[in-house]
Amino acid sequence: MKRILTYQIYPAIPEQLAFLEVLSRNLWWCWKPDAVALFRRIDPRLWIESKSNPIYLLSHVSQKRLEQLVADDSFLAHLQRIKDRYTMRVVDNVEPSRNIYEQAGPVAYFSMEFGIHESIPIFAGGLGVLAGDHLKAASNMALPLVGVGLLYRKGYFRQYLDQEGWQQEEYPEIELYYLPLERARDPQGNEITISIAGPDGEIRAFVWRIRVGRTPLFLLDTNLPENTPEAREITARLYAGEPKIR
């Protein structure tokens, strides 16, 4: 049987626009209107098609359009303003906001869902949006907080009508390469995998990281070959109907 491999081909981002790739992989941009406007300027129609996903946008924009932007002084000035603000608010060291509680380390914020932005479809409603806002506020205030949740590879379902007119749903898998995900690593640079005691034995999980401004969000993913088929489905869908999974 022949192996079939999938390759993702991306346009070459000119050096003058290199910061766009950095910005696309930190969700700080999503609550900064001027940063959102910067991505929209690249290709307004493609921005809508991407559902406001800058990684998708930069993966599909034409090389010709990128070359036009390099020659656009107004766009380059806009880009520099965002870069300067990003450096000040995300990269530079700042003194954390004063806290009445003395902390030995960062505070871990656990939630079943985090609604950071629509392009990260791992949330369902108010609980997730509130959790996402807490991470954004923690970044703005330079608070020592980390988010901990689950990576739902089939986050949203799509509804359709079958041939007999009955409503059905399907759960398409998220295309991870269009998300600002990176594997969490220990101080030695090794990818982190954790073990969890489950009702039917040990469960292994990847740990993914999403950058939310200064605040890291860690997401567990049980879709590992060494897990049982049942365990691999634990993080497949948000609020699955089966009582055991829930």
- Hey, what are 128's tokens? 């997730």
Final residue of a structural domain among 30, 60, 91: 91
Residue 240 resides in a domain = no
The structure's pTM equals 0.86
Closest C-alpha among 202, 207, 201 to residue 220: 207
Tell whether the model's pLDDT for residue 100 goes beyond 50. no
Residue 9 lies in a domain: no
- Residues 25 and 84 reside in one and the same domain: yes
Regarding whether 45 and 162 lie in a shared domain, the answer is: no
Instruction: Examine the domain organization and report whether 207 and 178 are in the same domain.
Output: yes
Is there a single domain that holds both residue 112 and residue 85? no
* CA-wise closest residue to 122 among 158, 147, 151: 151
Encoded tokens for 168: 């059905």
Q: Give yes or no: residues 113 and 225 share one domain.
A: yes
Sign of CA dihedral 114, 115, 116, 117: positive
Verify that 35 and 137 share a domain, yes or no: no
Q: Are residues 23 and 76 in the same domain?
A: yes
Of 63, 91, 119, which residue is a domain's last?
91
pLDDT tens, 34-64? Answer: 999 999 999 999 999 999 999 999 999 999 9
User: 3-state class of 146 per DSSP?
Assistant: strand
Is 116 within a domain?
yes
- Here the tokens at position 244 are 């055991």
d(CA 133, CA 114): 9
pLDDT surpasses 90 at 180: yes
Q: Helix, strand, or coil here: 226? A: coil
Q: Which residues contact 32 (CB under 8 A, 6 or more apart)?
A: 82, 85
Residues 65 and 26 in one domain: yes
The answer to whether residues 86 and 197 belong to one domain is no
Q: For residue 49, what are the contacts with CB-CB under 8 A and spacing of at least 6? A: none
Tokens found for residue 78: 């806009």
Instruction: Give the model's pLDDT for residue 144.
Output: 92
List the domain range (segments joined by +) for residue 69: 15-91
CB 219 within 8 A of CB 188: no
- pLDDT, tens digit, 9 for 90 and up, residues 5-41: 566 667 889 999 999 999 999 999 999 999 999 999 9
Residue ending a domain, among 33, 61, 91, is 91
Question: Is 130 a member of any domain?
Answer: yes
Q: How many domains does the chain have?
A: 2
Does 8 map to a domain? no
Give domain status of residue 245, yes or no: no
Residues 48 and 163 in one domain: no
Sequential DSSP letters for 156-185: S-EEEE-TTS-EEEE-PPP-GGGS--EE-B
Instruction: Let me know whether 76 and 124 are in one domain.
Output: no
For residues 169 and 222, membership in a common domain is answered with: yes
Domain assignment of residue 185, yes or no: yes
Residue 2 lies inside a defined structural domain of this protein: no
Between residues 234 and 156, the one the model is more confident about: 234
